[in-house]
Amino acid sequence: MIPSKSLDIDLELQRPGAPRLEIRGSINLGRTFLLGVSGPSGSGKTSFLRMLAGLLSPDRGSIVMGDTVWFDREKGIETPTEHREISYLPQNVCLFPHMTIRENLLFAAESARPERTRMAFPFFSGSGRYGKTPKELDEKLARLSTVFGIEDLMNKKVGELSGGQSRKVALARMFLKPCSLYLLDEPLTAIDPAARRMLTGVILNILDEAGAPAIWVTHSPDEVACVANEMAEFSISETEDKAGWCQKPPRHFGGQ
């Protein structure tokens, strides 16, 4: 079970051809806390997640997760992505096209393990399979493939999947990794309306079982507002040529 942590953010980022992004706030990430983030295109929602994930370096400021400083420009601290204990679902699902779905998931699961405990999964060209996998991982793969409805896709290549099917695979891949914070960028993109409610329930159940908080970015506030503990709205100020989410004074969101 992940204990409650405070995520303190004070960031600025100058984006080429876009308003300056400013984000300031303090979020109490309870162990089952879900923060929904909405706002128009160009307001900085994806940049926000990428800075939290360590994939985009802010020009100024800091990110502090609990007692750990993830980023501090002034002190020269920039914790690598793999040491931030996050699992990130980008808008682009980034699956390996030369691998089957099962191989994609196995590769992600093994990559998420500490280097000292990683096992060699020999890949035999043309055989379409990895070597033997630990029973616990097999069970987790089987469960996730079932709850996301991808069990019939496991031996297919990425090019054989629809956009919605690829998104479900990416969701399953994200939840293979235990972490302190899940970051979801438009997780229901390309999912048909009939399946969105079901997948929302699946995501919430997995987050509850994991006991970890999440930040869910969406273009449609209604998609997540009914299930989020709190909502944050990003905006664009054309008069000041800046965008972002700024809390003045810092507001502490109350998770469980």
- Is the pLDDT reported for residue 194 higher than 90? no
Q: Provide the percentage of residues in the chain whose pLDDT is more than 90.
A: 54
pLDDT score for 87: 94
Of 24-38, 89-103, 235-249, which range is least confident? 235-249
pLDDT score for 126: 33
Confidence of residue 182 (pLDDT cuts 50, 70, 90): very high
Burial of 131 (0-12, 13-18, 19+ CB in 10 A): exposed
pLDDT score for 2: 53
Per-residue model confidence as pLDDT tens digits over 92-147:
988 999 999 999 998 888 776 655 444 544 443 333 344 445 777 788 889 999 99
- Is the pLDDT reported for residue 248 higher than 70? no
- Is the pLDDT reported for residue 251 higher than 70? no
Confidence of residue 240 (pLDDT cuts 50, 70, 90): confident
Radius of gyration over every alpha carbon of the chain, rounded to an integer in angstroms: 19
Query: Quick one: tokens of 143?
Result: 């469960």
Domains within the chain, CATH numbers bracketed: 1-85+179-256 (3.40.50.300), 93-162+172-177 (no CATH)
In whole angstroms, give the CA distance from residue 40 to residue 43.
6
pLDDT score for 129: 40
Cβ 145 vs Cβ 151: under 8 Å: yes
Q: Which residues of 54-64 are buried (b: 16+ CB within 10 A; e: fewer)?
A: bebebeebbbb
Beta-strand ranges (E) seen in 172-241 are 181-185, 214-217, 230-233, 235-237
Q: Which of 22-31, 43-52, 173-182, 234-243 tops mean pLDDT?
A: 43-52
